Amino acid sequence: MTQDELKKAVGWSALKYVKPDSLVGVGTGSTATHFIDALATIKGQIKGTVSSSDASTQKLKSYGIPVLDCNEVDSLDVYVDGADEINHHMQMIKGGGAALTREKIVSALAKQFICIVDESKVVDVLGKFPLPIEVIPMARSYVARELFKLGGKPIYRQGVVTDNGNVILDVHDLIIAKPIELENRINNIPGVVTVGLFANKGADIALIGTSIGVKEMK
């Protein structure tokens, strides 16, 4: 199976976690897009969605799926999204698609985070995938110097402006042995909007697409 076929299989398998009359948080990326295709088949059965990016909002609306403003909801029943890496403690690196800030906000509202990934994303130690960090543009160089001090090599993602008008630094060469500690530390650097480490609040369930079927990890 190709990687995209594995992504499609997990995207569709997440449907069983969407209960009738629920409010659904929707992630961003190619795996989440497969989930949106699946969600469209039961759109009449859900209350609505909250989206984590303009791209996902557009896709949801193209199917006629209701998209609510985040400020209109107190909580979400479930949030379904992909990841760039996930470890066996259900902690993740996210933000490959630059949507990390809205993804963190929407996941914070959700009672349950279902992570949908193909098997290549499951790792023992996070950090091979460069860690995305959303930064206020005027703080870019300052934040980059602070990240150097933490042992990483930040690279400015040229030409990318987030949905919130900020920029992304991708931090290479970090071996993330203590994800919660690092998430807290980077969050404390002035100018950082969001670090793409989802460690304090990880996934509740991971659906992993493999060549022999979709596996579940809790």
Q: CA nearest 194: which of 115, 136, 113, 112?
A: 136
Choices 93-101, 144-152, 172-180, 185-193; region in contact with ligand 5RP by CB under 6 A = 93-101
Residues 56/11, Cβ–Cβ less than 8 Å = no
Q: How far is the CB of 102 from ligand 5RP (least distance, A)?
A: 9
Q: Which amino acid is at 122?
A: V
Q: Looking at 5, 72, 85, 103, which residue is catalytic?
A: 103
Residues 116/207, Cβ–Cβ less than 8 Å = yes
State the pairing for strand pair 92-93/85-86: antiparallel
Q: Which of 17, 50, 96, 166 binds ligand 5RP (CB under 6 A)?
A: 96
Complex with ligand 5RP: residue 94 or 157, whichever CB lies closer: 94
> From the centroid of its chain, how far is CA 172?
18
Type and span of the H or E element at 143: helix 140-149
Q: How far is the CB of 162 from ligand 5RP (least distance, A)?
A: 9
Choices 95-103, 156-164, 172-180, 187-195; region in contact with ligand 5RP by CB under 6 A = 95-103
Decide if residue 30 touches ligand 5RP (CB under 6 A).
yes
Q: Which of 35, 39, 84, 147 binds ligand 5RP (CB under 6 A)?
A: 84
Decide if residue 31 touches ligand 5RP (CB under 6 A).
yes
How far is residue 124 from each of residues 51, 85, 153, 211, measured CA to CA in Å? 30, 10, 21, 20
Q: Which of 49, 56, 95, 110 binds ligand 5RP (CB under 6 A)?
A: 95
Q: Identify whether 183 is a catalytic site residue.
A: no
